[in-house]
Structure 1
Amino acid sequence: MKMDVNKFLVITLVASNTGLPLVTHADTSKTTGPIAQAAYLMPNAPSFDETIPRFREKYNRRNPALPLHEYRVITGKDIYLPLTRAASKINEKLYSSAVLERGSEKIKSLQLTLLSSENETETQKNQILTEQYMIALMHHFNPTLSQEQSKENIDNLLKNSKKLPFFSHNIGAIRYIVINGSEKTLTFAIEPIKLSLSGPEN
């Protein structure tokens, strides 16, 4: 298990610092490869108007079958001083992480990372579980979408990102990103793309 946790940390650091898009205003899907710096590292990058504790409370209330456990701060020199990183374990192969404004804990980027497994049955089960979490997260951040619309959007996102190292698609003021890692890992990220974006209401 420790090896998987360490692998998760390395993968999320790489995805966060090199794999997420620099563009903050485009409305079309992007299929470019990894670039130098993640968008949330830019000066004045937007945040969701929702702290990680508040997000968990609301998300878990709406999705009791797909819980997110407490996010624990990850210490390290990988991230810029005004930001902090926290992670939550879903199972041995699936984790969630968040990049937060230091102090306010407002979310700048929320991510899911699925690690590879040598067991084909476990891989299939975790892929299904990951997609369920992706749908639930999209529905949380885009509450005007129905569950069916969220599923359709995630299905299209995964279909369009297949065999690509990087793919992003904007829905409203939110960017959804898929990064397919070299070790058969998958990272799904959610980020705001405009300033003063409010979180979903109760």
Structure 2
Amino acid sequence: MKMDVNKFLAIIFAASSIGLPLVANADESTTTGPTVQATYLLPNAPSFDETIPRFREKYNRHNPTLPLREYRVIISKNIYLPLTRAASRINEKLYSSAVLERGSEKIKSLQLTLLPSESETETQKNHILAEQYMIALMRHFNPTISQEQSKENIDHLLRNSKKSPFYSRNIGAIRYIVVNSSEKTLTFAVEPIKLWLSEPDN
């Protein structure tokens, strides 16, 4: 059954609007419960030095089998004025969304959202696909780590996220977050923890 586009955007906005704990230090990992405000809403919160078009061009070139389609802007009165949200559909249950700095359109938070499936087979299939996208995103933002290291890091994040609704881990200047909601929705987020410059494009 296909999902109406407006309904999909509403679901993504709700899922990605989860209040992420305010953890701005460089601790290796953090386990806690979600709080009211996300880190990217803090004054002077850092942004990646990439816009969505630039990110997609580089990401899709290096990951042709795991493409990200064009992101559509989500219009909502609930988001703070300095920020814009956009979302991209991967399949019926898996989506990517981004929080952008209004004006520069640089990425402040990039997220994957996995919605619950009707069957166990579909759940397993989509979970495997989501993990593949997580690994690809980690390699994009941490290009010096290998495919195997990325998989180990993602496995670590997902394993520890089962113990708490929220789990985060910092790798270099990047913060990786996994949130498990009560509605069985899984959100994976990538955020800078300090000013970040793109690697030279090869």
Tell me, yes or no, whether TM beats 0.5.
yes
Matches within 5 A, 1:1-202: 1-2=3-4, 3-13=7-17, 15=18, 18=19, 20-195=20-195, 197-202=196-201
Q: Which amino acid aligns with 1:100?
A: L
Is the CA contact (8 Å cut-off) linking 1:140 and 1:200 kept in structure 2? no
Amino acid at match of 1:12: S
Evaluate the alpha carbon distance shift between residue 170 and residue 193 of structure 1 in structure 2; reply closer, same or farther with a 3 A threshold. Answer: same
Q: Distance in 2 between matches of 1:163 and 1:32?
A: 10
Q: What is the SS of the residue equivalent to 2:30?
A: coil
Shift of 1:7: 2.7
Opposite residue 134 of structure 2, the aligned amino acid is M
Deviations 1:134-167 (A, max 9, x none): 0000000000001111111101111111141000
The two structures have a TM-score, normalised by structure 2, of 0.94
Q: Which one-letter code corresponds to 1:134 in the other structure?
A: M
Residue identity over aligned pairs, in percent, reads 75
The Cα of 1:23 is off from its aligned counterpart by: 1.9
Alpha-carbon distance change, 171 to 95 in structure 1, aligned in 2, over 3 angstroms: same
- Is the Cα–Cα contact under 8 Å of residues 8 and 115 in structure 1 kept in the other structure? no
Q: Which moved more, 1:3-12 or 1:109-118?
A: 3-12
Instruction: Give me the whole-angstrom Cα distance separating, in 2, the residues matched to 1:112 and 1:190.
Output: 9
Unaligned runs of 5+ in 2: none
Query: CA shift at 1:201, angstroms?
Result: 2.5
Q: Is the 8 A contact 2:85 2:97 kept in 1?
A: yes
Q: How far does residue 5 in structure 1 lie from its aligned partner after superposition?
A: 4.7
Q: Are the counterparts in 2 of residues 163 and 180 from structure 1 also a CA contact under 8 Å?
A: no
Q: CA distance change for structure 1 residues 123 and 4 in 2, over 3 Å: closer, same or farther?
A: farther
Shift of 1:121: 1.0
SS in 2 for 1:48: coil
C-alpha distance in 2 between matches for 1:127 and 1:194? 30
Secondary structure, counterpart of 1:164 in structure 2 = coil
Q: Quick check: 159-168 or 128-137, which moved more?
A: 159-168
**Segments of 4+ moved more than 3 angstroms:** 3-6
Secondary structure in 1 matching 2:29: coil
Structure 1: gaps spanning 5 or more residues = none
Against the structure 1 CA distance between its residues 76 and 6, is the aligned structure 2 distance closer, same or farther, given a 3 Å change threshold?
A: closer
**AA partner of residue 190 (structure 1):** V
